[in-house]
Copies of this chain bind each other. A is one copy, B any other.
Amino acid sequence: MTIATFTIDYHQYLKPDGTLSQPLPKDLDHNALLKLYRLMHLLRVFDGRAINLQRVGKLGTYPGNIGQEAIGAAIGHAMQADDVLVPYYRDCAAQYQRGAPFHKILQYWGGDERGSDFNNAEDFPICVPIAAQSVIASGVAAAIKYRQQKRAVVTTIGEGGTSEGDFYEAMNVAGAWNLPVVFVVNNNQWAISVPRSAQTQTQTIAQKAIATGFSGEQVDGNDIIALHERIRMALDKARNGGGPTLIEAITYRLCDHTTADDANRYRSKEELDMAWQVEPLVRLRAYFTAQTVWDDSKEEALLLECRKEIDKEVDIYLNIKPAPVTDIVDYMYAKWPESLKDQRETLLQFGDSHHD
């Protein structure tokens, strides 16, 4: 006897060839779309620079966003200022829109904690240990619910990360407590070298929400329009007491996992080439071109502008003064413990001599 039935839907507005599969949603006009287009370009230029900076020894390991620009761009645009972002490590576009300038993002990946001290009082910094951000996001949402505020939380994760228990625990409490949180999965098909198919037997990642009692859906993760619309709706729902949503954004990581990775070891050129056909920027440009709001000269001007902006940010980054060694201890507690003050002295005595 069948006692329960569940379905998973898929959402798309903009097809890979740049034509619409359904009419534009009302809240995204061409101006907004152009803004998002610019943002995605900016991020792609930034990524290129970051990867180069790493190659010349001026940045640490860096995880690129190439191919996944639409997700962060949509999140950042759809969120309201007083919402809270609890990101994973591939969310530059969202972080940028919410107050983390690119030089801070570089500073973070440049091995300097001050990079996470950016101009947003409540957003979380990048979370490196996978899936912990999910449960923390539910905690932020619980605080918002306790205070009866009309705000929501967005937290992101990779499709590999959805195999972690924390992801499930976070969704379970979000469902049980009807928390205002949106879980966005960046399904970029790979967790370093492990393909999506080896990660889980499920047909979709979206259906993982069925295990926690709320709705999950798939969205074309290279379609900024669909992403924005579905995230905006999920946020509205969350802010209005409708509880959590899981959004699986289907995309592809066009770069290596990080600058320390060599994706050629584990994935084929064919697969990569195919993915380049459906990536988010080309698609939106095709749409603009068809709408005759865009042309090559506009594109060139935009790229120039982006490069200029990123140059400026890189410049700021490269000129940041080193932190004093005592920063190593001075932020551990509101007040460094009395009994450990000799450690601070040793640090002062020896710390600086080992700068490299």
Contacts and interface: CB of A to CB of B under 8 A. Distances in A.
Contacts of A1: 9-12
Interface stretch (A57-65, A74-82, A201-209, A321-329): A201-209
Interface string A209-238: 111111000100000000000000000000
Contact of A3 (B8, B199, B201, B209): B8
Contacts of A292: none
A316 B37 CA distance: 78
A201 B174 CA distance: 9
Contacts of A213: 200-203
Interface stretch (A42-50, A115-123, A162-170, A264-272): A162-170
A353 interface: no
A175 to B, nearest CB: 4
B207 A201 contact: no
Contact of A207 (B6, B202, B203): B6
A165 B176 contact: no
Nearest to A1: B10
Contacts of A201: 172, 175-176, 178, 212-214
Interface in A1-33: 1-12
Interface string A125-165: 00000000000000000000000000000000000000111
A9 B5 contact: no
Contact of A168 (B4, B10, B168): B168
21 contacts: A2-B9, A3-B8, A3-B204, A3-B218, A4-B206, A4-B207, A5-B5, A5-B8, A6-B210, A163-B173, A164-B169, A165-B166, A165-B169, A168-B168, A168-B169, A172-B200, A175-B202, A201-B214, A202-B210, A202-B213, A210-B211
